[in-house]
Amino acid sequence: MGFNGGGGGQLLNHEHDGTLVADGGPLDFLGITQSGMSNGSICFSNTAHLRELSVGNIGDKLQVSAGNIPEWSPTMTSLSTQQSIQSGIFSTTSATFVPVLNGMQIVLPTITNGKALIICNYSLKNSGANNNYVTLLDDGVSTGVYQTYTTTTADVLGSIAHIFDLDGSTIDMGVRTTGGTVFVIQSPGAVAGSILALQIA
């Protein structure tokens, strides 16, 4: 049956652009237009035809496949955190990096292709005017990223951050000094140092 008001005749091509009644008018997606699609399905084009993508599973995400079509994937980006707070004063006279104990440590989970942003906040001082260095240690090895301070007996506040793989490694705050004794301070009445991991997988 044609859409030109007659009882017969050739069926016209339908653009459904809303300009001509004979073209069928615009499609109504507000619960009126019917299809043979399953509940929860979505529709996409493969250039020539419209195709149905059945609804995915709970928690799936919609992504683009290697064939440039939409698909559901069970792989979700997850975000998690963990934090450790300093407890007590740490001190060392070491000229090479040593891990700060007393809670300034994070053990990362093992998640393929996952990453963690590690942020460490601290305060330190030295028994004299010596150069002191702070780094983040990955299983005891310095990342090569460090902060340098020349301190006396006054507390100096600092922060250091780095990105690590989620490979099950242990991340410590590390310190060393060129002389004297360097202290990682938990000053009385002040907020203690902390180390935080923002984990993305």
Are both 65 and 107 inside the same structural domain?
A: no
CA atoms of 50 and 43, how far apart (whole Å) = 7
Residue 13 lies in a domain: no
Residue 12 lies in a domain: no
pLDDT of residue 45: 87
Residue 182 CA, chain-centre distance (Å), reads: 34
CA atoms of 97 and 144, how far apart (whole Å) = 11
Among 84, 79, 144, 91, CA closest to 116 = 79
Are both 146 and 50 inside the same structural domain?
A: no
Write the single-letter amino acid at 92.
Answer: T
| Three-state secondary structure call for residue 13 | coil
Contact 164, 116 (CB under 8 A): yes
Count CA atoms within 13 Å of residue 7 on its CB side: 0
Residue 100 lies in a domain: yes
The total number of residues shown for the chain amounts to: 201
CA atoms of 174 and 166, how far apart (whole Å) = 19
Last-in-domain residue among 42, 73, 104 = 73
pLDDT of residue 40: 84
Residue 53 forms beta bridges with which residues?
42
Positive or negative, the CA dihedral 133, 138, 141, 143 is negative
10-residue averages of pLDDT along the chain (201 residues): 53 68 70 81 85 86 86 80 95 97 95 93 94 97 93 89 97 97 84 92 83
Q: How many domains does the chain have?
A: 2
Are both 172 and 86 inside the same structural domain?
A: yes
Residue 9 lies in a domain: no
Residue 34, C-beta contacts closer than 8 angstroms, at least 6 positions apart: none
Give how far Cα 70 sits from Cα of 39, 113, 152, 201, Å: 17, 23, 61, 22
| Residue for token pair 């044609």 | 2
Residue 181 lies in a domain: yes
Residue 142 lies in a domain: yes
pLDDT of residue 21: 66
Last-in-domain residue among 57, 73, 89 = 73
Are both 103 and 187 inside the same structural domain?
A: yes
